[in-house]
Amino acid sequence: MSVDNVDTLGIRNEEWWFNDGNIVLQVRICGNSLFKLYLGQLARASSFFRGLEHLPRPEVGTQPAEGTVARPLALLKVAGDVFADLLHVLYLRWGEPMTLDQPRLAAVMRAAHHYQFESICKIAESQLQGKMDAVPEMQLAHATGSPEWASAAFRRLVLAFDDAPDLHILDPTVQIKVWKARQRVTIWRMRVLEQNTGRLCPSEPDGQRHTYIICGGHLRHLLLFVPMTSRGHFVSRFHALDVPSWDPEPGVVYDRSGWTGRCCTCEDGELHALAVATGPSAEEDAEVDLVWNE
């Protein structure tokens, strides 16, 4: 079969058809596209093509060799436009900006993962991590990303504490882990709040101790708001408050039982507990990672 008859097998992708290339690929999904490329360049970037490089491709009787114009090598797990985008990333020049949007780059990463383009997977991961919606990112990271990305995406999804309508698209085992991790974080936050509302605080430098007395109403307010709220939301709300600093008298225990006026001490205690809850989240991350690694 001559080169002039190539259209009988598919449509050339003119951008990725090199006349002196030594392998012809056929992508049948979405257009039946043909690509003529350099196997050596593909092999340097892909373990999949590296294996093809060492396979003999002799003419057997009248049967043409696979990977030629007459008998292109079929790629069955990728669409033509996605493979063209993958080649765009592969041949990206140093310093050249990435022009693919998130959906296209995510599709490229799936194809790169399947055909073992390790460098493209790393490039796509660096561009997508933390920039996608939580559920699609979790799905992509779990299927194709590094363990570190999958773990970070899981933490982000868990700590969002929202009822994402697309949560059902995740693997059922991941969905179960999301709810289990949120339960652990909720319990941990409740414990932190209870420990910092109405109990003695650590000793001051002068050996004195003070306690924050907080009524049940204020504690209920915290327990309703903090344990199952996105950390980013309640932290930003707390830092947006214009609250003067409050330094209680050392050694003074405030008792507001029977007090019918303004519950200022409760409010101060509530702010103290909220300040503790908005602090470092390493413990929360540890709770989430524990579930993810089960």
The pLDDT tens digits of the residues spanning 55-80 come to: 665 555 667 777 888 888 899 999 99
Q: What is the pLDDT of residue 214?
A: 62
Maximum average pLDDT range among 49-53, 103-107, 200-204, 218-222: 103-107
Which one, of 226, 231, 154, lies nearest residue 193 by Cα? Answer: 226
**Between residues 104 and 254, the one the model is more confident about:** 104
The pLDDT tens digits of the residues spanning 188-213 come to: 888 877 776 654 444 455 555 555 55
CA distance linking residue 91 with residue 94, whole number of Å: 9
Q: State how beta strands 23-29 and 33-37 pair.
A: antiparallel
DSSP 186-201: HHHHHHHHHHTSSSBP
Q: Which fold has domain 3-128?
A: Potassium Channel Kv1.1; Chain A (3.30.710)
The pLDDT tens digits of the residues spanning 85-114 come to: 999 999 988 778 888 999 999 999 999 999
Q: Is the pLDDT of residue 143 over 50?
A: yes
Instruction: Write the CA distances from 13 to 10, 18, 34, 42, integer angstroms.
Output: 9, 10, 6, 17
Residue 33 carries which side chain, given as an amino acid letter?
A: S
Is residue 254 within 8 Å of residue 211, measured between CB atoms?
Answer: yes
The pLDDT tens digits of the residues spanning 14-23 come to: 999 999 998 9
Domain boundaries, given as residue ranges, for the chain: 3-128, 172-292
Q: What is the pLDDT of residue 91?
A: 92
